[in-house]
Amino acid sequence: QVRVVESGGGLVQAGGSLRLSCVASVNIFSLNAMGWYRQAPGKQRELVARVTDISTTDYSDSVRGRFTISRDLAKNTVYLQMNSLKPEDTAVYYCNAETVWGPKWGPGTQVTVSS
Protein backbone atom coordinates (compact mmCIF):
# COMPACT_ATOMS: atom_id res chain seq x y z
CA GLN A 1 0.00 0.00 0.00
CA VAL A 2 1.38 3.39 -1.01
CA ARG A 3 1.64 5.95 1.80
CA VAL A 4 2.11 9.65 1.20
CA VAL A 5 2.96 11.83 4.20
CA GLU A 6 3.43 15.60 4.31
CA SER A 7 5.21 17.67 6.94
CA GLY A 8 6.40 21.22 7.51
CA GLY A 9 3.23 23.26 7.68
CA GLY A 10 2.60 25.89 10.31
CA LEU A 11 1.90 29.54 11.07
CA VAL A 12 4.06 32.25 9.55
CA GLN A 13 3.83 36.00 9.08
CA ALA A 14 3.36 37.53 5.66
CA GLY A 15 6.69 37.77 3.87
CA GLY A 16 8.06 34.75 5.67
CA SER A 17 9.08 31.32 4.43
CA LEU A 18 8.16 27.70 5.00
CA ARG A 19 9.42 24.43 3.57
CA LEU A 20 7.09 21.50 3.08
CA SER A 21 8.26 17.93 2.67
CA CYS A 22 6.49 14.88 1.31
CA VAL A 23 7.61 11.27 1.38
CA ALA A 24 6.00 8.59 -0.78
CA SER A 25 6.55 4.94 0.15
CA VAL A 26 6.82 3.68 -3.41
CA ASN A 27 9.56 2.55 -5.77
CA ILE A 28 10.77 5.49 -7.84
CA PHE A 29 10.16 3.51 -11.01
CA SER A 30 6.45 3.45 -10.12
CA LEU A 31 6.26 7.23 -9.84
CA ASN A 32 5.46 9.42 -12.83
CA ALA A 33 5.37 12.72 -10.98
CA MET A 34 4.78 14.32 -7.59
CA GLY A 35 3.02 17.52 -6.89
CA TRP A 36 1.66 19.92 -4.32
CA TYR A 37 -1.92 21.08 -4.29
CA ARG A 38 -3.78 23.34 -1.89
CA GLN A 39 -7.32 23.94 -0.81
CA ALA A 40 -8.50 27.05 0.98
CA PRO A 41 -11.83 27.16 2.84
CA GLY A 42 -14.73 27.37 0.40
CA LYS A 43 -12.49 26.89 -2.63
CA GLN A 44 -11.60 24.01 -4.90
CA ARG A 45 -8.31 22.18 -4.63
CA GLU A 46 -5.76 23.67 -7.01
CA LEU A 47 -2.36 22.75 -8.33
CA VAL A 48 0.51 24.65 -6.75
CA ALA A 49 3.55 22.96 -8.26
CA ARG A 50 4.48 19.66 -9.87
CA VAL A 51 7.68 17.85 -10.81
CA THR A 52 7.86 14.91 -13.20
CA ASP A 53 10.15 11.89 -13.24
CA ILE A 54 12.39 13.74 -15.69
CA SER A 55 12.44 16.81 -13.44
CA THR A 56 10.15 18.94 -15.53
CA THR A 57 8.44 21.46 -13.26
CA ASP A 58 5.18 23.34 -13.48
CA TYR A 59 3.84 26.12 -11.26
CA SER A 60 0.59 27.94 -10.88
CA ASP A 61 0.76 31.60 -11.87
CA SER A 62 -0.02 32.66 -8.31
CA VAL A 63 3.15 31.11 -6.87
CA ARG A 64 5.62 31.23 -9.75
CA GLY A 65 8.75 33.09 -8.68
CA ARG A 66 7.99 32.64 -4.98
CA PHE A 67 7.73 28.85 -4.57
CA THR A 68 10.22 26.21 -5.67
CA ILE A 69 9.53 22.48 -5.98
CA SER A 70 12.41 20.03 -5.82
CA ARG A 71 12.79 16.30 -5.59
CA ASP A 72 15.22 13.87 -3.97
CA LEU A 73 14.87 10.69 -5.99
CA ALA A 74 16.94 8.62 -3.59
CA LYS A 75 14.58 9.48 -0.73
CA ASN A 76 11.33 9.51 -2.74
CA THR A 77 10.83 12.94 -1.24
CA VAL A 78 9.55 16.14 -2.77
CA TYR A 79 9.96 19.57 -1.22
CA LEU A 80 8.14 22.84 -1.61
CA GLN A 81 10.12 25.90 -0.61
CA MET A 82 7.70 28.76 -0.10
CA ASN A 83 9.09 32.29 0.11
CA SER A 84 7.44 35.70 0.30
CA LEU A 85 4.29 34.11 1.67
CA LYS A 86 1.03 36.02 1.47
CA PRO A 87 -2.19 35.66 3.48
CA GLU A 88 -3.86 34.29 0.34
CA ASP A 89 -1.46 31.33 0.47
CA THR A 90 -3.30 30.12 3.57
CA ALA A 91 -4.68 26.66 2.85
CA VAL A 92 -4.30 22.97 3.50
CA TYR A 93 -1.47 21.75 1.32
CA TYR A 94 -1.70 18.24 -0.08
CA CYS A 95 1.00 16.12 -1.65
CA ASN A 96 0.06 13.97 -4.62
CA ALA A 97 2.07 11.04 -5.93
CA GLU A 98 1.18 10.11 -9.51
CA THR A 99 1.89 6.39 -9.45
CA VAL A 100 1.45 3.74 -12.10
CA TRP A 101 -1.58 2.58 -10.07
CA GLY A 102 -3.14 6.04 -10.01
CA PRO A 103 -2.89 9.16 -7.82
CA LYS A 104 -2.13 8.79 -4.14
CA TRP A 105 -2.83 11.66 -1.74
CA GLY A 106 -1.43 12.58 1.62
CA PRO A 107 -3.66 13.75 4.50
CA GLY A 108 -2.53 17.37 4.07
CA THR A 109 -0.71 19.94 6.19
CA GLN A 110 -2.06 23.33 7.23
CA VAL A 111 -0.25 26.49 6.18
CA THR A 112 -1.47 29.72 7.74
CA VAL A 113 -0.04 33.10 6.77
CA SER A 114 -0.94 36.01 9.04
CA SER A 115 -1.04 39.60 7.81
Which one-letter DSSP state was computed for residue 64? B
Rounded-to-integer distance, Cα 76 and Cα 24, Å: 6
Which one-letter DSSP state was computed for residue 81? E
Q: Is 31 exposed, middle or buried (0-12, 13-18, 19+ CB in 10 A)?
A: buried
40: pLDDT strictly greater than 90: yes
pLDDT at position 73 is: 81
Average pLDDT of span 56-75: 94
93: pLDDT strictly greater than 90: yes
Percent of the chain topping pLDDT 70: 100
pLDDT at position 16 is: 98
Average pLDDT of span 93-107: 96
pLDDT at position 44 is: 97
76: pLDDT strictly greater than 90: no
DSSP string covering 2-51: --EEEE--EEEETT--EEEEEEE-S-GGGEEEEEEEEE-TTS--EEEEEE
53: pLDDT strictly greater than 90: no
Half-sphere exposure of 63 (CA within 13 A, CB side): 25
pLDDT at position 74 is: 82
> pLDDT digits over 15-38, tens only?
999 999 999 998 878 889 999 999
